[in-house]
Each structure stands twice: as C-alpha cells, then as structure tokens.
Structure 1
Amino acid sequence: MIISFSSHAKIYSWVDEKGVKHFSSYAKSTDAEEVQLEAPVSQWKKTEIKIIDEGFDLTESERERIRRDVVAVYEFFDKKLYFDIYKTVPVSIKAFGDKQAYVEYIRNHKGISRQSKDNSHNTLGIYLPKFNEIVIYQQKYRERSFSTIKHEVSHAITDTLTPFVPSWLNEGIAENMETIGFEKGGFSIGPHLINYNHMKKHKRESKLLPVKEFLSLTSKEWRKKNIRSGYVMQTQAGELTRMLLSTDTGLNFISRLMHNYKRGDKTIAFYLVDDEYFGGTGMLESKWSLWVNRKQSDSIAL
C-alpha cells in the first residue's frame, strides 16, 4: 500500500471490528490515533562529475556538454525506467588524448580482469565498476568520444543499481543512450547509423539470431558469442532495445524487465516475454522482422 501524505494534514489510524487497520485524514472512530509522520529527507543532489583530462584538451564548453549528457542519462533512468534515483552513482571520467595511452592505462591498471585488458584495443571506452571510473580516448571523429561517455554512464548506473540485468539488455540500453538528448521538452533518442548499417550488413550475411534464440542466451554465453562474432550481438542488442524503446508497450516491457532483475530475479529474458510483453514471443518476433527491414534509422521521441 502506498499513501501520499500532505505535509500539513493530520493522519489518523484505527482498527475495525475485523482487525483491519485503516488510515484517514480525520478521526472516524473514538479509538483513532494520530499518526506521527516524519517527512522523508530527499537524498537527491546535483550530479557531480569529476572529469580528468589526460591529453584530450577538453574546452570548458565540452566539459559542460559532458555534464549535461550525463544528467540526460540519469534522468532517463529516473523518469522513463522509474528507478527513483535519489542519489547519484559516483563516477569519474578520465579522457586520454589517444588510443595508445588509453590501452596502456587499462593494461597497467591493477584490479582489471585479464579479458578486459586483452580486449582493450577493441573498445572505445570502458567502465571500471571497482573504481567507479569511466575511461575513454579521443577518437578521430571527436563527437563519438562524447557518445561513448553516455554509453559508459549507462553501464555505471545499470551495474550499480541492478547488477543482475542480462548483458544484452545492459548493452542494448547503453547503445541507445549514446544518442539520448532533449527535444521539445521531452527525451529524444537520435538515429544510430552505425548500428543500423551494421544490422543491415549482418542481416544480408544471415548473422542475426532469431529473437527466441537471442533472448535465451545467458549473459556468459552472450558475451562470448559477442566477441567471437565480431560484436554482431552488440549490434543486435542495440537495435532490439531501440525497437522496444520506440513504443510505449516496448518501453514498459524494458522497465518491467529491469525492475524484475533489480529485485534479484535471474530468469533468462525469453521466459519472461510471454508474461511481460503484450502478444508474447510471436508478436516480438514479428515486430523484429519488420524492424530489421525498415528503410532508415529515425529519431525516437519518448
């Protein structure tokens, strides 16, 4: 039971003849007692992002842009996935001026897994959960570096608040946070042309998995298959999640999945589709087929 209390109104409680406890704004019984309420203290604070420039040469306007981008990702989780984020996930961002310095930093960093170190040359950025640190480097197309920061901030929030979320969904949301922004007073997810073009290529090469098979993978299986396939799984995760985000039904489905995993559920996603997605697996598979064949990647208004 959720009760919304006014800060000025008195609240009374009493127990009826059946032993059921009631609440009301006035005393309905001579035995009614006034409930003493303590107003909750909000823990929300402005997002403080520590930005460490290691040769990236960030301008002050770019630093401010990074702060705005990070806030946009936080607000998406708070307002669209209903995570009720009352405190921020502490994160520092280390921005290197070139890829070699980035790779060397990761490979020499204590506490990072051997797999992450060996795979560092294939990544555009990384979130280090043990250290609450995001590491990126200046890419040839500078704009993509800022998109990578939003991607890794999504991982920071997900890994901290709902660590049991499947890898495909964790990665899929992060892929779409790369183009999150505000438009006409609401959220907008811009086109992701890289994923769209890769998806078209993978479709022609018959590398995309049927939705049923894709959602049946464990996180460990998904991660292995992702690396072995040359990150085909990551593209599919991004586009499948994007498809879901494009409709209210799909957005609600993602939100329910995230909260199931937040509560500690470890059920493979496929087994939750029929209960949580309107139309079940058949409908999801049908929509995915239409999505893969669409003519272009458009913005999504949320």
Structure 2
Amino acid sequence: MFKTKLRNVLLFIAMLIASALLAQYLSGRQLSYKGLVGSANELYVDLVTYIYHDDTVKNAQTNEVVVKPISLQILKQHHRPQIDTTRCVDVSLGEVKYTQQGDIYSWTDSEGIAHFSDKKPSLNATPYNTGFVDTLDYFELTLSTPNLPASFKQALRVKLNAVFKVYGQIIGVDSLRKVKLDLRVLATQTDYENAVRRRGGDPTNTQGIYFNSSNTAFINYNNEQSAMRTAVHEAVHAINKAVLGSTPRWLDEGLAEYFEHTNNTMQTVSVEPSTTWLKNHTLSTSILTLNELLNQQDNWQRGESTKLYASSWAGVYFLMDSKQGKDFLKSIMLEQQKSPCVQLTPLQLQSALAAHFPDLNNDYMQWLKTPFRAHHF
C-alpha cells in the first residue's frame, strides 16, 4: 500500500510539473525555473481551493452543509497589486506593435466645402500627412459581464486605450508592453464575495480585487458607472504590473485612482478630478505630504487606508498637473522598468523628487489651495 501511495504522489508531481510547463508555453512566457515554480504553485493553489470549497458533507444533526477541514493551508491573496518576488516573471505579451497612418487627402468641391479622406479621390487633391501614430494592440481583454450591455466592453476598451495613450506620452510608446487583462464583473455582492473567496482572497470592504498570480480581477457590480470605474482601477493594476513591474504601492494605487475618471472625446483624453476625494472642488479628507507618503509602503495593511488612498490620488494628480511632475513620473517609471522585480526605495524616490521639485513642500501646499482642474492629453 505504501508503494501505491508513493507512486500516486510521484505521478501527481509529474502531472503538476507537466501542467506548469504547458501553462507557461501556452501563455507565451519564457520557460524558466522561477516561472515553472510560479505556475506550479498557482495550479496547486487553485486545486486546493477547489477541493476546500467543494469537499462538503452534511451535518447529521443540523442538516447543514459544512466544509470538511483539511490540513493544507490555502495561500491568501488579498488586494496587493505588487508582484510576489518569489515568482517574478514577465506577464506582458511582448512589445506593443504600432504603425503610422498614411496620408489623408483634402480637397475643396465646387461649392467651396472642404473634404478629408484616407482614400485618394479621382480629382486633384492635396496629400496631408497627419503624423498620427495608430496603436494596434495595447492589450488582450477578456471581460465577463453578465447582464451588462455589449456597449460596456467597448466603452471600457476606449478608456483603457486612453490609459495607454497617457502612459505612452509619459514614458514613450517604445517602452510600453502589451497586457493581458481578465476582468470578471459579478452581478451580486454574494457572487462577488464567493468568487473572491474561492481564489483565497478577502472581499471585506472591497469593490474589486486584482490577483497577481492569475492576472485576473473580480469586480462587484453596484451600477454601471461604479462597475466601469472599478474595472478601470483594477485594469491599471494589471497594466502597471506588465509595463513597469513591482511598483511602490502609493504609485500603483494613485495611478489606478487617477484613471478611474477618464473620459474620451474624439482624439482627446481628459481626466477629471475625483468625486471620491473632493467636495466643492476641495479635498474632503486630510492627506499626507508626498515625502510622508513615500515612506508608507509597509503601512498599507495596518494604516489608515482612506488617508493613504486619498493621499496617493492627490499626489499623482499633483504630478500630472505640470511638466516637471510628468518628468518625475517618467524618470521613476523608466527606472522601475529596469528592475521590475525590485521596488524603488523611498530614498530613491525622494532623491528624484527633490531633483524635480527643489521646493516641494511649498509647491505642494500652494497647489492644494488652488481649484483642481481637468487634465487633457
């Protein structure tokens, strides 16, 4: 019997390794020891989670369905968008492919009306080179949205394209990476909580949770507007992970909060001030200074989450409000991209901040006193 059990264990391990190799191959990731361990761990967690939640029995006295206790500990994955450095792998889908559009032809008809077309007309026309760069494949989006209109997915795609457009303006299109996004919108609070718990997460006081290991986000549906903002928020976490790597929490959450309020008009992207953190155009809660915020990396799980989220949003909004702020973001985002498995330290961030804002505290305090304005890209 011992030999039979040993054979079963060895067979299980062999199947787990083979499945992990297949998962890496099908996802387009480079085969590596760390990637293999990460894939095997994810498959193991999903299997144990499935066993834990489906191996149920009935209590003979109460007739209630209860879960059989097992000795295996399930890996808990809370809302931590940072990469787990024990399995740091490239989760992007490679470089973004882009092309420049051809000439646009313009002409004036007999009634003096100007016309523009990407097809050359039979009559004489003047070629007009727009120089516009058309991006083809920023991301692969899998969106599960029960009971939501098809227009929701299209509207979300437009907003996420806008996020990439802004990132491209800050760090350059050549530095972007294609991202795989798997977003699942749950119709009820119960469905949302059950889905998150099946993954080993804690849905308490959350509207959305992003899981690093599977690059998947679960979103609780309250109404269409709220679901859209949460979907954008969680998608930005996935974008940051694939494009930048293991970003400091304030930057990751600040960018996610910032892009929740993205709007698109023709070729223009606008980001409105957050209605979550503002009342009558002024902050509705106290916030930390930027230097204080940079030192809070270890306090997110035990600190004042409201203040941390508000401070992160305000900090990113301040940086996006000026050229020197965008230059600072460019410098730290590209620096983070060089070492995606190791977060930039508070000392590195403060040094870069001082180089771009010699009088930071005064600049920030004065800026907070002025009305918040929309940003246009």
Q: So what's the TM-score if we normalise by structure 2?
A: 0.58
Establish whether residue 272 from structure 1 lines up as the match of residue 349 from structure 2. Answer: yes
Give the counterpart letter for 1:272 in structure 2.
L
CA deviation after TM superposition for structure 1 residue 75, in Å: 2.4
Residue 78 and residue 122 in structure 1: after superposition, are their counterparts in 2 closer, same or farther (change >3 A)?
same
- Partner of residue 182, structure 2: 92
- Partner of residue 208, structure 2: 125
- Partner of residue 292, structure 1: 368
Larger-Rg structure: 2
Number of equivalences = 242
- Partner of residue 157, structure 2: 67
Establish whether residue 154 from structure 1 lines up as the match of residue 236 from structure 2. Answer: yes
Partner Cα distance (2:166, 2:267) in 1: 13
Establish whether residue 187 from structure 1 lines up as the match of residue 269 from structure 2. Answer: yes
Partner Cα distance (1:273, 1:286) in 2: 15
SS at match of 1:231: helix
- Partner of residue 247, structure 2: 165
Query: Is 1:50–1:92's contact at 8 Å kept on the other side of the alignment?
Result: yes
CA deviation after TM superposition for structure 1 residue 142, in Å: 2.4
CA deviation after TM superposition for structure 1 residue 164, in Å: 2.9
Partner Cα distance (1:154, 1:42) in 2: 16
Identical-residue share of aligned pairs (%): 19
CA RMSD, Structure 1 to Structure 2 (Å): 2.6
Residue 171 and residue 61 in structure 1: after superposition, are their counterparts in 2 closer, same or farther (change >3 A)?
same
SS at match of 1:188: strand
Establish whether residue 201 from structure 1 lines up as the match of residue 284 from structure 2. Answer: yes
- Partner of residue 107, structure 1: 197
Query: Is 2:324–2:356's contact at 8 Å kept on the other side of the alignment?
Result: no
Query: Is 1:150–1:174's contact at 8 Å kept on the other side of the alignment?
Result: yes
Give the counterpart letter for 1:213 in structure 2.
E
Q: So what's the TM-score if we normalise by structure 1?
A: 0.71
Query: Is 2:288–2:307's contact at 8 Å kept on the other side of the alignment?
Result: no
Partner Cα distance (1:137, 1:48) in 2: 21
- Partner of residue 224, structure 1: 301
Residue 83 and residue 169 in structure 1: after superposition, are their counterparts in 2 closer, same or farther (change >3 A)?
farther
Residue 69 and residue 81 in structure 1: after superposition, are their counterparts in 2 closer, same or farther (change >3 A)?
same
Give the counterpart letter for 1:136 in structure 2.
I
Query: Is 1:162–1:258's contact at 8 Å kept on the other side of the alignment?
Result: yes
1:47-88 CA-partner distances (Å, limit 9, x unpaired): 3311112x4x11122221122122222222223332636652
Establish whether residue 248 from structure 1 lines up as the match of residue 351 from structure 2. Answer: no
Structure 2 unpaired stretches of 5+: 1-94, 99-135
Partner Cα distance (1:124, 1:287) in 2: 34
1:159-201 CA-partner distances (Å, limit 9, x unpaired): 1232232110111111111112334633311121212249733
Residue 232 and residue 272 in structure 1: after superposition, are their counterparts in 2 closer, same or farther (change >3 A)?
closer
Query: Is 1:244–1:250's contact at 8 Å kept on the other side of the alignment?
Result: yes
Partner Cα distance (2:374, 2:168) in 1: 21
Partner Cα distance (1:144, 1:99) in 2: 13
Residue 209 and residue 138 in structure 1: after superposition, are their counterparts in 2 closer, same or farther (change >3 A)?
same
Give the counterpart letter for 1:165 in structure 2.
T
1:211 aligned residue (280, 290, 310): 290
- Partner of residue 136, structure 1: 219
- Partner of residue 6, structure 1: none
1:50 aligned residue (134, 142, 148): 142
CA deviation after TM superposition for structure 1 residue 94, in Å: 0.8
Query: Is 1:162–1:261's contact at 8 Å kept on the other side of the alignment?
Result: yes
Partner Cα distance (1:99, 1:85) in 2: 38
Query: Is 2:192–2:220's contact at 8 Å kept on the other side of the alignment?
Result: yes
Residue 162 and residue 93 in structure 1: after superposition, are their counterparts in 2 closer, same or farther (change >3 A)?
same
